[in-house]
Amino acid sequence: MNEDQNARRTLLKLGAGGLALAATLDVGKAAAQSAPTSLLRKVLDRGRLICGTGSTNAPWHFEDEKGQLTGMDIAMARILAKALFDDETKIDFVRQDPAARIPNITTGKVDITIQFMTTSGQRAQLVAFTRPYYIEGVALLTRPDAEMKTFDQLLAAGSKARVSVLQNVDAENLVHQVLPAATVLQIDTQANVVQALESRRADAAAVDLSTVRWMVARSPGKYADSGKSWGSQLYGAAVRQGDPDWLQFVNTVFTVGMFGHQTDIYDDAFKKFFGQEPPQRKPGFPNI
């Protein structure tokens, strides 16, 4: 019997209490083995995680009825705090504008930024990105009582299908990638893009997939998902460059929290904010 098998047998004999003790000891070993300057040591010694995020963009980060931060980004921070301290509440949130996401990392104001941040090569020159925790895309929000509520109906309507989208240089091309004949209504704000749908000026609103799922989950009698999404982009957290121990720790925690044996926080948040069950994780060949 090899060393790993002996260790597993020992933990099984110890039971739940032994597993908890072993987990505590492993955290201590990780801190001792990491580089003296690594945030892994500093965060554990401090006893709290400092996380940069926003507060005004549901379903990612926003205030609940009690004024407490909630959302999918907040759930990812809770997963990290749970792994660090066995307490998902040991987080100090720094509320920041999107423009501060990278500066607050590079200056050390926060340990990590978790704020629906799109991974890109340009940004990766300034910060280190974690593994993705969501694949964003564009989707079509419709009305459940409309004649054109599915993608196939919108496509068949040709130029009669009116699609509202946030005004930008690529807006028309973005819509025409999937609805080549649709009439595109470029509108100044995201709120007005949705309002055009509500007032029936538009038959569909081209918005983020996460926004579609959030709005449909909250108000299924008011909004519908056409069933079409495209143009994927990765959302990941960001940490300071040059600290492989901290980055590796966060990546490991995210992987376990999304695909391993501790998925409760992620799964609950995914269902709450997107109205969907996460895909089933099947034991066997790794698919993470």
pLDDT, residue 41, reads 95
Q: What is the pTM of this model?
A: 0.86
33/212 Cα distance (integer angstroms): 44
pLDDT on residue 32: 57
Secondary structure class of 16 (helix, strand, coil): helix
Burial 59-89 (b: 16+ CB within 10 A, else e): bbbbeeeeeebbbbbbbbbbbbbbbbbeebe
Confidence at residue 33, expressed as pLDDT on a 0 to 100 scale = 67
Residue 106 φ then ψ, to 5° = -65, -25
**Is residue 104 exposed (0-12), middle (13-18) or buried (19+ Cβ within 10 Å)?**
buried
Ordered structural domains, the chain, with CATH? 15-133+236-274 (3.40.190.10), 137-233 (3.40.190.10)
What three-state secondary structure class fits 191?
helix
- Per-residue pLDDT, 7: 46
Q: Per residue of the chain (288 residues), what is the pLDDT tens digit?
A: 444 444 444 444 444 444 444 445 555 555 556 677 899 999 999 999 999 999 999 999 999 999 999 999 999 999 999 999 999 999 999 999 999 999 999 999 999 999 999 999 999 999 999 999 999 999 999 999 999 999 999 999 999 999 999 999 999 999 999 999 999 999 999 999 999 999 999 999 999 999 999 999 999 999 999 999 999 999 999 999 999 999 999 999 999 999 999 999 999 999 999 999 998 898 998 877
